[in-house]
Amino acid sequence: MKILYILSSTTPFGGASKSFLTLIRFMKQTGVTPMVVVPDENGLCADLKESDIAYHVAFFRWGVYPPLETLKDKILFIPRLFGRIYANWIGTHQVCAIARTFKPDLIHTNVSVIDVGYRASRKLHIPHVWHVREYGDLDFHLHYMPTRRRFIQAIHHPGSYSICITNALAAYNGLSDFLQSRVIYNGIVPTAKNAPENTSLEREPYFLFAGHIEPAKGVFEMIRAYYSCVNKMNIRHSLWIAGKVTDSEYSNKIQAFIKQSHLEKDVVFLGELSNLPEYMQKAKAVIIPSLSEAFGRVMPEAMYNNALVIAYDNAGSKEQLDNGLLLTGEEIGLRYTTENELSRIMLHVANEGLQPFKEMITRAQHTVCKLYSNDQYTEKVLSFYKFILQQ
């Protein structure tokens, strides 16, 4: 079996990138011959070289409209729009050329916001798999070109197949009962039986957030909730933020609030971390404030590392919490729906410690090991490939 993969980004820290590396390494071990198309030669390309996986760089952009947030965005909208259209026309031809030489059995696009793989598959009459990892509009305020309706038509095309990373995401795209679609959760843990040993409940006095610093992640709302309770804590806990700034205007808004609230010593920005699990294991709790997370890889990673999770009760975060509740009969994390609720929970955890949540932490780790193992993730994708090629 020969698979041509299309990546939207080579950043090594994103959830889509981590899940892709897990998948492609497994596929190579099982005898699949992979080829990867990337938009640049940064980040992940070093991992591909290390794993002896061939790749090609192609010229393409996301198949969504340019942003319209600032005055500069509005002035540059038309030239950026035509630039994207031209880039994706070139990219489609480049993918076709690569595919004609490589002769793949199918093309697998790692996210739903790029369409050069789908366009190439139509030209070459090769099955195409969309890996739907994001809402697009609800989480990142992205808008498919030319319309969302056309995107929905594309993923329902007879030659299209799709993998959705949650049931909610499948339902949102009208794929719940579609024969050519599957819901396959991301792989998080090495095997269904392997998990870190329970560590001490004596953790360091800080709350941890991990993710991009952008509006969709709910960072500003989290900081406001923290501000409302930090002065009431018996022992003052810090708020540590690990992640890359992807929206400078939003980051400036956050920094202005921190300065105005005199939180400069309390809110610590760590940047992107390669050893994030170590910080999770030491944190009093990991906060998932994303407003509409498609899946939310940080949550199961934190649970796997024996961290208490506090999460906004919506979208992918809610589905994961519901999965745990269904599997164990009890909650596996602390849910909230308002800033005031988050503030009260943070204060309670800071003052009471983790002893009241010992069993919850254990249930959470059990849930992740049961539902989100790399074994299940990769084997289900391989099984889906075989189903497609039998059609």
CATH at residue 227? 3.40.50.2000
Q: Identify the pLDDT of residue 67.
A: 87
Q: Identify the pLDDT of residue 195.
A: 61
d(CA 145, CA 360): 44
Domains held by the chain: number: 2
Is residue 212 domain-shared with residue 157, that is, in the same domain? no
193 within some domain: no
How large is the angle between the packed helices 116-124 and 71-102, nearest 10 degrees?
A: 40
Is residue 72 domain-shared with residue 174, that is, in the same domain? yes
Mean pLDDT value across residues 77-92: 95
Is residue 210 domain-shared with residue 148, that is, in the same domain? no
* % of the chain exceeding 90 in pLDDT: 74
pLDDT tens readout for residues 114-132: 999 999 999 999 999 999 9
Query: What's the CA angle centered on 370, arms 331 and 320, to 5 degrees?
Result: 45
Which DSSP letter does residue 356 get?
Answer: G
67 within some domain: yes
Mean pLDDT value across residues 2-25: 87
192 within some domain: no
Q: Which domain holds residue 129?
A: 2-187+373-390
195 within some domain: no
pLDDT tens readout for residues 164-175: 999 999 999 999
Local confidence band at 341 (pLDDT 50, 70, 90 cut-offs): very high
Local confidence band at 295 (pLDDT 50, 70, 90 cut-offs): confident
347 within some domain: yes
d(CA 233, CA 274): 30
Integer angstrom CA distances of residue 203 from 260, 283, 311, 322, 355: 29, 6, 19, 27, 11
* Closest of 179, 165, 180, 194 to residue 23, by C-alpha: 165
Residues 192 and 375 sit within 8 Å (Cβ to Cβ):
yes
Residues 5 and 24 sit within 8 Å (Cβ to Cβ):
yes
In this structure, is the dihedral angle defined by the CA atoms of residues 140, 141, 144 and 150, taken in order, positive or negative? positive
* pLDDT at 196 exceeding the cut of 70: no
Local confidence band at 290 (pLDDT 50, 70, 90 cut-offs): very high
